[in-house]
Amino acid sequence: MSNKSGISDHSAETNPAQLQTALALHQQGRLAEAEAIYREILSSQPDHFDALQLLATIAGQQNKMTEAIELFYRALKINPEHPASLNNCGNALQMLKRYDEALLSYDKSIAVQPDNADTWCNRGVVFQALKRYEEALESYERAIALRPGYTLAYNNRSYTLLELKRYEEAVLSYDRTIALNANYPEPHYNRGNALLWLTRYEEAILSYDRAITIKPDYAEAYGNRGNALKDLKRLQDAVLSYERAIAFKPDYDFLFGQWLHTKMKICDWRTFENDVQQLSKRIELNKKASSPFSVLALLDSPSMQKKAAEILVLEKYPSMELLPKIPKRRRHEKIRIGYYSADFHNHPMMYLMGGLFKLHDREKFEIIAFSFGPNRDDEMRKKARETFDQFIDVQNKSDNDVAQLSRDMEIDIAVDRKGFTKDGRTGLFALRVAPIQVSYLAYPGTMGADYIDYLIADAILIPECRTQHYSEKIVYLPDSYQVNDSTRRIAGKVFTREELGLPTVGFVFCCFNNNHKITPATFDGWIRILKKVEGSVLWLFEDNPKAAENLRTEATELGIKADRLIFAKRMPNSEHLARHRTADLFLDTLPYNAHTTASDALWAGLPVLTCIGEAFASRVAASLLNAIQLPELITATQKEYEALAIELATNPEKLTAIRQKLEKNRLTTPLFDTELFTRNIEKAYTAMYERYHADLLPDHIVIKP
């Protein structure tokens, strides 16, 4: 709270020396002594303007914002055009988040004193808090024009450019801020954030390191430094950086879950039980412990997953009213479906959904892609550009601009294809991009947000008795919720076991799920299976060398030779599908099942054994097996799961029968019938659309076969 108020001409002075003494004490920081004199003056002169506004300033400096505002209002009744009081009153209102009143106060101050850079900067802060970033930017630029060396305004301007997704400009703006004051840690930190968004990870780390050099306990810099290290696959270094952040700030928002998730990626389970207990306890206490995605592989509880989602949404993505309510739309000749994703390139999403996009009935639907992911010139990106009626790159547009564009285009149904997964933009949907908003094949659980109207699922994923754990209304597709592309190519190459590093004889169990899905309980079960099946091996996906090292160590400690674990590297998708044929049985994980990886295995003709859990993510493989009519591979307990794995490995006739049934069912059952799936999801979209035009609120929808 500024005390640069000076003495006004609007006070009836009987003892100017008394006021000068109080002002001198005030400027020396001797607030209690100054306050006593101001109150003494007011006891005899209740309308003494200077005593009122200076006492209000002291209240603000003491964080007594409500008292400060009352005193400023009293002073401003006497002198309604005193610019410093209007500015300082705006600051107090801003601190109490009374943003509309703060803006009014700043605007009155600017009307009287338009060349005050501080007031323009303060006004920008309010617009920034309201997420009205274009107006914030304008205010900061006015402040800088008035005071070219204004470090705070430059820093805030840079942050606003960051929020507007104008990352290159943000980096340059931070460079200017740093040139003005290289010892100011925040610009270095935020410059790192801009570089992080630009995927210039090494440069981002250098910026975070500079911020930490200036401010050694800068928890946020350590936290985002960890994010950059994680994206560079330097996962162990990321874990250490997160630990430093948590040491300096134990209640760092959502970082505990990120730290634990990164440990899971390298299969570091040294404190697993305690960590999961802590995670659960923190969520129960409504603490900002973890992003919902990190919870999926750790807690098989739909209620806990919902709570984690609600905590995140309330903190980061509350429903926004920056744009007017969408008026009731006229019917369109074709229903306009917007698919919003960062994954329109060589990505599992496109491998699954490419056929759906192509087969949509263009007589009834217009489909538009809103792409906010990397602009990669690869095969699936080209396919997407050719398939959609319109393909719009919005990577560098702000959420507000994308929402306005969607509204201008009158999108009827917006399909969120990212949710809480990497590169998601939940803020778009908080602004309402369309009158009907749907979560599909993105985050495998509830978004916990009142602005996502529907979640597309099936009866196995979400039994009717569990709908209370989902904030959305459920759209039940027949068969499975998961679309598959029946034109996916499997390479003709026939791999030998030797070239894949597998033994020439012996049973091959495999799991190509991401390493973070492997829990100690799942791995212990696999080891028990290996012990019962002589000569068998476990073939796993190697996301990073540290995970492979830790898993081999764990296997050895559990009594299995490390060489019975074989690790598969990444390879082109068609060849990856082909190598499945050298395995004998796919072993699923719990509580986060195989999703796309289960479809990959089944499409390649490899049976998948799963154990069904409680939450959406732990029931996906069961959904897929049901749709391909292989329910005999769905188990309900860990004991059943292990027993069936051992039986299939030691009973060749039974496994052969299942493989033959899988081969027969691949192209004759619903799972890989893309045309059938497309018609079913179009029925779902149509049902949502009809409810909307009948002025009915969203409700559960069951699509009949």
Q: DSSP secondary structure string, 150-207?
A: -HHHHHHHHHHHHHTT-HHHHHHHHHHHHHH-TT-HHHHHHHHHHHHHTT-HHHHHHH
Q: Does residue 446 sit in the same domain as residue 513? A: no
Closest CA to 260 of 247, 284, 246, 276: 276
- My answer on whether 190 and 283 are in the same domain is no
Q: Specify the number of domains making up the chain.
A: 4
User: Is the same domain home to 311 and 369?
Assistant: no
What residues in the chain have per-residue pLDDT under 50?
2-3, 12
Q: Are residues 398 and 466 in the same domain?
A: yes
User: Would you say 545 and 233 are in contact if contact means Cβ atoms under 8 Å apart?
Assistant: no
Residues 602 and 454 in one domain: no
Q: What is the pLDDT of residue 8?
A: 55
Q: For residue 509, which of 474, 483, 535 has the smallest C-alpha distance?
A: 535
Distances (CA, A) of 545 to 256, 540, 567: 23, 12, 9
- Looking at residue 383, which CATH number applies to its domain? 3.40.50.11380
Tell me, yes or no, whether 414 and 348 share the same domain.
yes
Q: Which of 683, 672, 685, 674 is nearest to 705 (CA)?
A: 683
The answer as to whether 23 is a domain residue is yes
Asked, for residue 690, whether it belongs to a domain, the answer is no
Residues 364 and 280 in one domain: no
Q: How far is residue 133 CA from its own chain's centroid?
A: 20
Give, for 413, the enclosing helix (H) or strand (E): strand 413-416
Q: Give the number of other Cβ atoms within 10 Å of residue 542's Cβ.
A: 17
**Domain shared by 292 and 219, yes or no:** no
Asked if residue 444 belongs to a domain, the reply is: yes
CATH number, domain of 660, equals: 3.40.50.2000
What pLDDT does 3 receive?
Answer: 43
Give residue 15's pLDDT.
Answer: 66
Q: Which range marks the domain in which residue 638 is found? A: 498-672
Give pTM, 2 decimals: 0.90
> Residue 441 corresponds to which tokens in the numbers above?
């094949």
**Burial tier of 250 (Cβ tally within 10 Å: 0-12, 13-18, 19+):** exposed
Contact 641, 635 (CB under 8 A): yes
Cβ atoms within 10 Å of 489's Cβ, excluding its own: 10
* pLDDT tens for each residue of 580-607: 999 999 999 999 999 999 999 999 999 9
pLDDT tens column, 643-672: 999 999 999 999 999 999 999 999 999 999
Domain CATH for 85 = 1.25.40.10
Q: Is residue 685 part of a domain?
A: no
705 part of a folded domain: no
699 occurs within a structural domain: no
Q: Which of 391, 242, 400, 239 is nearest to 321 (CA)?
A: 400
Q: Are residues 35 and 171 in the same domain?
A: yes
Residue 11 within any structural domain of the chain:
no
- Same structural domain for residues 65 and 198? yes
Domain boundary at 225, 246, 271, which?
225
Are 406 and 547 contained in the same domain?
A: no
Q: How far apart are CA 702 and CA 705, in angstroms?
A: 10
Kindly state whether residue 701 falls inside one of the protein's structural domains: no
Same domain, residue pair 20 and 92:
yes
Peptide bond preceding 318 in cis form (omega within 30 of 0): no
pLDDT score for 41? 78
In the block, residue with structure tokens 């750790």: 298
- For the chain, the C-alpha Rg in angstroms (whole number) is 30
